[in-house]
Structure 1
Amino acid sequence: MDKLLRQLHDMKSNLSSLIINNRRQISDNGIQLGFSLQNVNKSTSSHPLKFTTVRFNSGNMFNMSSGKFVCKRAGLYFFSTTIVREPGITQSYCSIVVNHVNLQTTVGYGSSTTGYSSGSTVLVYHLNIGDRVFVDDCYGADHIAWTSSFSGFLIVPDQ
């Protein structure tokens, strides 16, 4: 029993050390990369869809003027968008686009006269340096609510 407890204690200590070292490496290497945007720019019907509020944008990887995320570190990334439809049409949709290829689409359905509806989607995708990711190919862009959002972050960098 004592031997088992020592082994468990040693395993816990080793795991704690690994976690601390991993956090230190992430911090030291500047690997915490990502962005979070909100508030669709309704003053223009631009392509790609542009956002006005930055909640987080480490390394300025998301270019607010172009409306595109530009990959500066190759690896596996997670992207998410939520498109909120305003009353006036029955549906609105947009796609997460990588290098001008639609990879994931979200749709908000509902009555054209009442309420707001939303659709969300996520994409996990490997990017290379210079790849561009953005929200585009929107239907009903005039009725996309300002509360729509777009986020992304690096899950695991290439070695």
Structure 2
Amino acid sequence: MKFVVLFVFLFLGVVSGFLVENGNATSSTHQATDQVIQNMYNLIVNEQRSRLQLQKLVTTLSKKVDKLEHAQGQIQTEFLQNFTKRLNETNVSVGFAVSDPDNSSGSALKFKQVIYNSGDDYSLSSGVFTCRYPGLYFFTATLFRKPGLRESACDFSVNGIDQLSVNSGTDVNAGYQSGSASLVYRLKAGDIVMLSDCIGINYLYAFSSFTGFRVSY
């Protein structure tokens, strides 16, 4: 482009000098020459302006592409992390089984014997199961009462709300009596489950038990 412009200027200069030397240059010829020069100048200025605008547009698009690539990378990373986390949680075995009730229990019925306690999610000291891995859970409790004594009963409690009761039986003239109940509940991480609001725990036999495990994610 620069060589073309330079050539045009040189050509116009030669033509103009030739016309002047031959005495044929007129006012209109000078005006026409000036107009051509002005048009060429305007063309150069517009070309430079367009080039600058194009460079700015390319820079802006390049920054947007970089942002999109960065965002895409973050989305892929988060997806893989969430997928891996969910896969790991799905494969985790969660469950507990305890027996031999502690007759000194407070708000929750505690047990002294641990049969199984994956991840220590069931606390012997509090009698509370705390959910770490969300999913569908199955719980069952059996209350085994000593003979000739009054009834024993507890409630299944989830986050402090009673769901159902389990009763050992009320016939004081019978021998050993037992009662069982089961609860299926979908838990979220942080939910707590216990046997609470118990009565007659002093009459419970060591074979009484409390069990829970995750059925599915």
Do the structures match in fold with TM over 0.5? yes
Structure 2 gap segments, 5+ residues each: 1-86
Partner of 1:39: 100
Task: Work out whether residues 87 and 111 of structure 1, in 8 Å CA contact, stay in contact via their aligned partners in 2.
Answer: no
Higher strand share: 1
Task: Work out whether residues 48 and 68 of structure 1, in 8 Å CA contact, stay in contact via their aligned partners in 2.
Answer: yes
Post-superposition shift, 1:106?
1.0
Q: How many pairs were matched up?
A: 132
Secondary structure, aligned partner of 1:123: strand
The one of the two structures with greater contact order (alpha-carbon pairs below 8 A, sep at least 6) is 1
Percentage identity across aligned positions? 37
1:144 is aligned to 2:204: yes
> Runs of at least 4 residues of structure 1 off by over 3 A?
26-30
For 2:97 and 2:116, the matched residues in 1 are separated by 5
Structure 1 gap segments, 5+ residues each: 1-25
Higher helix share: 2
For 2:106 and 2:173, the matched residues in 1 are separated by 25
For 1:73 and 1:28, the matched residues in 2 are separated by 6
Post-superposition shift, 1:112?
2.0
Task: Work out whether residues 138 and 184 of structure 2, in 8 Å CA contact, stay in contact via their aligned partners in 1.
Answer: yes
Residue correspondence of structure 1 range 5-154 to structure 2 within 5 A: 30-42=91-103, 44-154=104-214
Moved more, 132-141 or 74-83: 132-141
Post-superposition shift, 1:111?
3.1
Post-superposition shift, 1:47?
2.1
Give the TM-score normalised by the residue count of structure 1.
Answer: 0.76
Task: Work out whether residues 83 and 118 of structure 1, in 8 Å CA contact, stay in contact via their aligned partners in 2.
Answer: yes
Secondary structure, aligned partner of 1:87: coil
For 2:210 and 2:194, the matched residues in 1 are separated by 9
For 1:58 and 1:114, the matched residues in 2 are separated by 37
One-letter amino acid of the counterpart of residue 123, structure 2? N
Secondary structure, aligned partner of 1:32: coil
